[in-house]
Amino acid sequence: MPIIKTEKLTKIYRQGAVEVVALSEVDIQISHGDFAVVAGPSGSGKTTFLNLLGALDKPTSGKIWLDEQEITALSRTDRSSLRRNHIGFVFQFYNLIPVLTAYENAEFVLLLQGVDQVQRRKKVLDLLSIVGLSGLEDRYPHELSGGQQQRVAIARALASEPALVLADEPTANLDTKTGQELLDLMQQLNSDINITFLFSSHDPEVMERARRLIILRDGRVVEDRIK
Amino acid sequence: MIVKLAARNLRRYLRRTLLTLTGIAFGTALAMIAIGLGDGTHDMMIRNGLQLGQGHITIQPEGYLQSPSAGLFLKETSGLLKIISSEPEVALSYPRVRGEGILSSASGGEGISFMGIDPGIEGEGELVLRSMDSGEFLDGPEGNWIVIGKKLAELLSLKVGRKTVLTVQDSQGQITSTLLRVKGIFHSGSPEIDRIYTLIPIKTVQKTLAMGNGVTSIAVYLKENRETKTVLKKLRSSISSEKIAVLPWQKIQPSLRDFVVLDDAFGYLYYLIILIIVSIGVLNTVLMSVMDRKREIGILMAVGMRPGSVLRMILAETCLIALLGTASGLIIGYGFHYYFATHGLDLSSFVGEFSLAGTVLDPVYYSSLRPARIIQIFTVIILTTITMGIYPAFKAARTEPVEAMEKP
Ligand SMILES: Nc1ncnc2c1ncn2[C@@H]1O[C@H](COP(=O)(O)OP(=O)(O)OP(=O)(O)O)[C@@H](O)[C@H]1O
Ligand SMILES: [Mg+2]
């Protein structure tokens, strides 16, 4: 049983009279425990694809199943609870809530889920130490480097132990060394607790490490290779 | 957590928060000052107007209002006075004889209106007493004395101690005259009042008009103007004579009533303008802060914060600002109010005393704010502010999480 299944997934952006087909009839299945990368040139539809899978946006047509549940017809509130309880996000550009500390950012989803204080504390401190941020818990995002911020985002994405983590070019803004450290971490989490990861990237290092490589061009899957 | 986020957001945009806060505080303080002074003048207007008039409630013969004539009077007053003074809301009551006549001197004659009063009753003729220009006020219910206004004194070339003749129609319809001596001259500030209004000891008037111990009216003054309706009802049921009319001041002094209504309307207009200004300010800043934070709101929603929670977060921010703003405005406003209530706002260098619709306004304005009024200002401003947060809050809750994902 795949964790993600799409059927003729299509997204068309309309801007006045102009139509941009960002994603065109994509059929794909991603299994539990996968460590997959969506690659492709700029504008090929990677972000669009991840946003649809993460229930952040609605497709123009086509369907998405997440763990057997068809999600395209869900209401805003249902999509919100789906994201809260099943998906971890790492975004490309902007990740953290500026008024919350590193600790509070990582804790945020757990708070939304109503996890009790003791468990929250243990989990968040563990995760922050895993991502190498012990001692920086009380810093605000603007007091952290880009790489550190990205790591807080990963801690947040993992805190609720989601079945699926979607990460949109998580290494794009990082130096090579930090990027590698993050990949190590995610690979380790993938093999240790079987979290499914789906990245988008044009970073060769990321593609190298992926177990599955999906290449998009002009909104279509042109290559899908399991290594 | 929502409140924590809200408080942190306010602290993060400290400058904007302080600006909004100041705006609300300023609006609240302004409302308190304006309403305090407004209510104060309002009260003064009614108080002074009623002092020249016939009290909060007037008891007079049925039909006198339609056609006042010396033939219409209340023959028996002691029973009525007993009923009136048994009401706890009543401060004082004055039997009076009113009428019109011609006052003449060597220089000619002037139509005047006179009031026969008993200056022995506490507070009677107070307003005139306060504005004596020369001579003295009446000192008892008897004696052939008259107190006149400065304007009338000029017209008739009268001075304190001079003789003058009052010609009137008595209760039998006979024209009769009596010789009076000017006891004092007052200067109320209103030329109209200074020309027409005169005071004579009540017994002298009763004798001249041949009405025995009768009076044309009993003026009833209450402790509080707003008790008028209640006391009116009670007096009407206890004085159930068809020959006696129990009337509120609004009926006796319709021009004062109209003026008070107009003054009220302006007061509310002022209130409304302050509210509109505060509202626009709040709406503008809250809306701006929501727009500026599209990305972080998008993130909050992307990681699973419910739209409803986002809505509550923005509302919580507005509530916090509203509470802090009105609270500080209340303190500032109360300070000003306290000063104006004790020292008054002295405008005598700008305006003299002036009269409007039969009432005299002192040039020193005192602020008056009842606790209910303060609570009202507080709640109205808080509610308005919070209402202004509703639209931005909905707008925030409608943010699409994808908006946060777009390239900066
Ligand atoms: N909100 C939008 N409105 C209109 N067009 C859009 C919008 N978002 C994306 N597009 C268009 O859809 C296409 C796919 O965009 P998308 O962001 O998914 O590409 P991408 O592969 O993530 O690119 P990049 O590598 O630059 O991040 C592009 O042509 C883009 O211009
Ligand atoms: Mg992209």
Checking if the pLDDT of B96 tops 50, the result is: yes
SS3 B42: helix
Average pLDDT in the B266-273 region? 86
**Between A51, A83, A111, which is nearest B405 by CB?**
A51
B336 and B219, same domain (yes or no):
no
Question: Do B309 and B240 share a structural domain?
Answer: no
Q: Is the pLDDT of residue B361 over 50?
A: yes
The CA A145 to ligand 1 mean position distance, Å, reads 27
Ligand 1, atom 3, lies closest to the CA of A13
- Segment B322-341 shows an average pLDDT of 92
Q: Which of B310, B268, B270 is nearest to B293 (CA)?
A: B310
**Residue B158 identity (one-letter amino acid):** L
Choose one of B252, B271, B294: the last residue of a domain.
Answer: B252
Same domain flag for B72 and B41: no
pLDDT, position B348? 64
Position B362 scores a pLDDT of 63
Residue B343 and residue B371 in one domain: yes
- Residues of B near A (CB-CB distance < 8 A)? 1, 5, 8-9, 11-12, 295-296, 299-309, 400-402, 404-408
Residues B66 and B203 in one domain: yes
The C-alpha of A40 sits at a distance from chain B's nearest C-alpha, in angstroms, of 17
Same domain as B283, residue B221: no
Q: What number of C-beta contacts closer than 8 Å exist between A and B?
A: 76
Q: Are residues B155 and B68 part of one domain?
A: yes
Give the pLDDT score at A6. 92
**Considering every ligand atom, which ligand is closest to the CA of A39?**
1
The SS3 call for residue B263 is helix
pLDDT score at A151? 87
| Residue-wise pLDDT tens digits, B54-66 | 889 999 988 888 8
CA–CA distance, B353 with B362 (Å, rounded to integer): 5
pTM to 2 decimal places: 0.76
Average pLDDT over residues A86-111: 89
The arithmetic mean of pLDDT across residues B217-239, rounded, is 89
* Number of domains, chain B: 2
CA distance B164 to B183: 11
Residue B355 has pLDDT above 80, yes or no: no
Indicate if the pLDDT at residue B49 is higher than 90. Answer: no
Of B252, B271, B306, the residue that ends a domain is B252
Read off the amino acid at residue B20.
T
**pLDDT surpasses 80 at B352:** no
Of B203, B219, B252, the position where a domain reaches its end is B252
Same domain flag for B152 and B224: yes
Closest Cα in chain B, distance from residue A77 (Å): 6
H or E element, residue B287 = helix B254-292
| B400–A57 C-beta distance less than 8 A | yes
A100-109, A153-162, B66-75, range with the lowest pLDDT: B66-75
The C-alpha atoms of residue B249 and residue B263 are separated, in whole angstroms, by 16
Q: Which residue does chain B place closest to A113, by CA atoms?
A: B304
- Is residue B238 within 8 A of residue B57, CB to CB? The reply is no
| pLDDT band per the 50, 70, 90 thresholds, residue B357 | very low
pLDDT for B383 beyond 50: yes
Residue B40 near residue B364 (C-beta atoms within 8 A): no
Q: Which of A44, A92, A203 to mutate to test the pocket of ligand 1 (most atoms within 8 A of CB)?
A: A44
Tens of pLDDT, residue by residue over A185-205, are 888 888 888 899 999 998 888
Interface of A with B in 89-108 (CB under 8 A): 89, 91-100, 108
Residue nearest to ligand 1 atom 29, measured at CA: A43
Same domain, residue pair B20 and B161: no
Question: Nearest to residue B112, comparing CAs of B182, B50, B168?
Answer: B168
pLDDT category of residue A118 using cuts at 50, 70 and 90: very high
SS3 content of chain B, % helix, strand, coil (to 5): 55, 20, 25
Q: Which residues of B123-141 are buried (b: 16+ CB within 10 A; e: fewer)?
A: ebbebbbebeeebebbeeb
Task: Answer for the pair A190, A38: CB distance below 8 angstroms, yes or no.
Answer: no
* B197 sits in which H/E element: strand B197-201
Percent of chain B with pLDDT over 70: 94
Query: CA end-to-end span of chain A, whole Å?
Result: 20
The pLDDT confidence band at residue A147, using thresholds 50, 70 and 90, is confident
- Separation of CA A21 and ligand 1 centre (Å): 9
Residue B10 confidence (pLDDT): 85
pLDDT digits 0-9 by tens, A26-58: 999 999 999 999 999 988 999 999 999 999 988
Please give the backbone phi and psi of residue A86, each rounded to the nearest 5 degrees, phi first: -125, -20
- Lowest-confidence pick of B71-80, B95-104, B279-288, B388-397: B71-80
Any ligand 1 atom below 6 A from CB of A47? yes
Residues B315 and B247 in one domain: no
Domain that holds residue B352: 2-49+257-405
B83 and B129 part of one domain? yes
Sorting pLDDT into bands at 50, 70 and 90, what band is B335?
A: very high
**Could you please report the per-residue DSSP string of chain A?**
-EEEEEEEEEEEEEETTEEEEEEEEEEEEEETT-EEEEE-STTSSHHHHHHHHTTSS--SEEEEEETTEE-TT--HHHHHHHHHHHEEEE-SS--S-TTS-HHHHHHHHHHHHT--HHHHHHHHHHHHHHTT-TT-TT--GGGS-HHHHHHHHHHHHHHT--SEEEEESTTTTS-HHHHHHHHHHHHHHHHHH--EEEEE---HHHHHH-SEEEEEETTEEEEEEE-
Residues of B within 8 A of A57 (CB-CB) are 400-402
CA of B405 to the centre of ligand 1 (A): 11
Q: Are residues B75 and B152 in the same domain?
A: yes
